[in-house]
Amino acid sequence: MATMSMAMLAGSAVMQLTVIWGSCVFFGNYDISDSSTSSALENNKKPFSLTGYGVRTDDATSYTARIMILSMIPFLILQLAKLINSSSGIRVVILISLLVTLVFLFLYCFYQVFQPWIQERRLAYVTRKFVKNNLVASLCTAAGEPDESRIREVFHEIDQNKDASISDSELRALLLGIKLEEAGLRNEDFVEKVMEDFDTSGNAQIDETEFHRGISKWLCEANHPDNNQYDERPKLFSRTAQSEEQQSLLAKKAKQQSQTAQNSWFNYFKAAFLLIIGTAVLALLAQPVIQTISEFSSAVNIPSFIISYVIIPVAMSYRETLGAIKSARLKTKQAISLTFSEIYNAVFMNNMMGLAMFLLLVYIRDLSWDVSAEVLVVLIICTLMGLLTSCSTKFPIWTAIIAYLMYPISLGLLYVLTEVLGWS
């Protein structure tokens, strides 16, 4: 059962970095070449090629990938157990890896409290999907320009008390019945995002001019591939010089974030409490779920690693896969950057939470377990993809082919390690 648990963890992480990642590059590809031929200029379109078409990402996406690589350290520590023959030594390695995993998980959550750029990018991802799918099409003319009359009409529909301004309470009333939670976004988060983008005067009210300017800005961001509003590099890595205007904007934003943080400690404690409760529930349900999957595998006569490594990850991630592909199909640098950031964050949390639950189960119950093949597969695939995505911001379409191939290769490697070499 321990091996099956690791297979589920490995299947989810590897599928996101191979099949889903490759699909985003494939469906989101556009012309990324730096030069053009004369014939291409005449036709206003460059010929398709595996190197000239692909996707670009911003620098912050690369930093997210580097954070993802950190989740490989506990997996690397577990490899030391292969060099130890005593059961007590293996148990020590498991304990060390468990402690490192829990520390990384805590630091990741703690970092986002005081440096919330990861949260802001995720909010931008789900907000942008909502705006693109629900507002952009209805507020554009046939030529793709802002529809002045329609924008004015929407403004007056939201302005329920007819005071020529929109308040946060009126925005919340508008969102009643809109199931933003299904996209991973709370109504309060969306209201805060709209007020931040639209309320340039800072009076907690959006007048018609601000509303028109904000909608036009959203439309511009949605329709221009090179727009890169969310390329906000974390302070830990930022080294570029900034203009006085940029510094002023950053200072204003930092002040707003500081004020918000001072009033949000209750939310932080609530989030920590829910995280602990969720972890406890997962720990209690882990063994029964694994037992059920094992029995199902035997009943249908399908190898357990196929069930846990292929079927379950597909069933659990198909909605996220469709959402990522739909976002990538916007074919913009901003869309693909935020989508990739979502993938890297999901892999980090999957690795840390999954490994923590697995090691807790093994250590507390004192289960007999050798370093499984799945640990090595996750280490290899995540490290390779992490290095590739953290060192480059340009991914030609041939990288999607490599990502697709890495999935069956990982399955083959797993089969060789378990069936041929007899790894647990």
Answer whether 57's CB lies under 8 Å from 336's CB.
Answer: yes
Query: What radius of gyration, in Å, describes the C-alpha atoms of the chain?
Result: 24
Q: pLDDT by residue (tens digit) across 286-324?
A: 666 666 766 666 677 776 667 777 777 887 777 778 888
Highest average pLDDT, of 47-51, 171-175, 240-244, 380-384, comes from: 380-384
Answer whether 212's CB lies under 8 Å from 172's CB.
Answer: no
Does residue 14 register a pLDDT over 50? yes
Q: What would the DSSP string read from start to end of 84-95? A: --SHHHHHHHHH
Alpha helices in 263-397 (DSSP H): 265-300, 304-306, 312-328, 333-364, 373-390
Collapsing DSSP states into helix, strand and coil, what is residue 164?
coil
Query: Per-residue confidence at 41, pLDDT binned at 50, 70, 90?
Result: very low
Question: pLDDT at position 160, please?
Answer: 78
Highest average pLDDT, of 107-116, 230-239, 329-338, 387-396, comes from: 387-396
d(CA 365, CA 368): 9
Highest average pLDDT, of 49-58, 228-237, 288-297, 322-331, comes from: 49-58
Collapsing DSSP states into helix, strand and coil, what is residue 56?
strand
Question: pLDDT at position 424, please?
Answer: 59
Mean pLDDT of the chain: 75
d(CA 155, CA 208): 7
Query: Per-residue confidence at 223, pLDDT binned at 50, 70, 90?
Result: low
229 CB contacts (<8 Å, ≥6 apart)? 124, 221, 334
CA of 368: how far to CAs of 3, 56, 93, 94, 294, in Å? 11, 46, 13, 11, 17
Answer whether 158's CB lies under 8 Å from 174's CB.
Answer: yes
Query: Per-residue confidence at 186, pLDDT binned at 50, 70, 90?
Result: low
Question: pLDDT at position 242, please?
Answer: 44
Query: Per-residue confidence at 74, pLDDT binned at 50, 70, 90?
Result: very high
Mean pLDDT of 180-191: 56
Structure-model confidence comparison of residues 86 and 181, the more confident one: 86
Mean pLDDT of 18-36: 85
CA of 390: how far to CAs of 70, 170, 178, in Å? 12, 42, 36
d(CA 91, CA 35): 57
Give backbone dihedrals phi and psi of 55, rounded to 5 degrees, phi first.
-135, 160
Query: Per-residue confidence at 372, pLDDT binned at 50, 70, 90?
Result: confident
Mean pLDDT of 243-249: 47
Answer whether 118's CB lies under 8 Å from 181's CB.
Answer: no
Mean pLDDT of 102-121: 82
> Apex CA 417: angle with CA 413 and CA 418, to 5°?
115
The Cβ-side half-sphere exposure at 57, using a 13 Å CA radius, reads 29
d(CA 47, CA 96): 54
Highest average pLDDT, of 187-201, 251-265, 400-414, comes from: 400-414
Helix (H), strand (E) at residue 395? strand 394-396
Mean pLDDT of 115-134: 69
CA of 241: how far to CAs of 57, 115, 245, 249, in Å? 21, 20, 12, 14
Q: pLDDT by residue (tens digit) across 347-369?
A: 998 899 888 888 887 888 777 76
Answer whether 279's CB lies under 8 Å from 353's CB.
Answer: yes
Question: pLDDT at position 25, please?
Answer: 94
d(CA 43, CA 136): 29
Query: Per-residue confidence at 283, pLDDT binned at 50, 70, 90?
Result: low
Question: pLDDT at position 398, please?
Answer: 94
Answer whether 48's CB lies under 8 Å from 392's CB.
Answer: no
What type of residue sits at position 162? K
Measured from the Cβ of residue 270, the count of other Cβ atoms closer than 10 Å reads 11
Q: Give the dihedral sign, CA 305/308/309/311.
A: positive
30 CB contacts (<8 Å, ≥6 apart)? 53, 54, 55, 225, 331
Residue that has been written with the tokens 């093949």 in this structure: 373
Answer whether 32's CB lies under 8 Å from 55's CB.
Answer: yes
Structure-model confidence comparison of residues 275 and 332, the more confident one: 332
Does residue 96 register a pLDDT over 90? yes
For a pLDDT cut of 70, what percent of the chain falls above it? 66
Residue that has been written with the tokens 């640098």 in this structure: 333
Query: Per-residue confidence at 237, pLDDT binned at 50, 70, 90?
Result: very low
Structure-model confidence comparison of residues 153 and 224, the more confident one: 153
Question: pLDDT at position 347, please?
Answer: 92
* Structure tokens belonging to residue 110: 């703690």
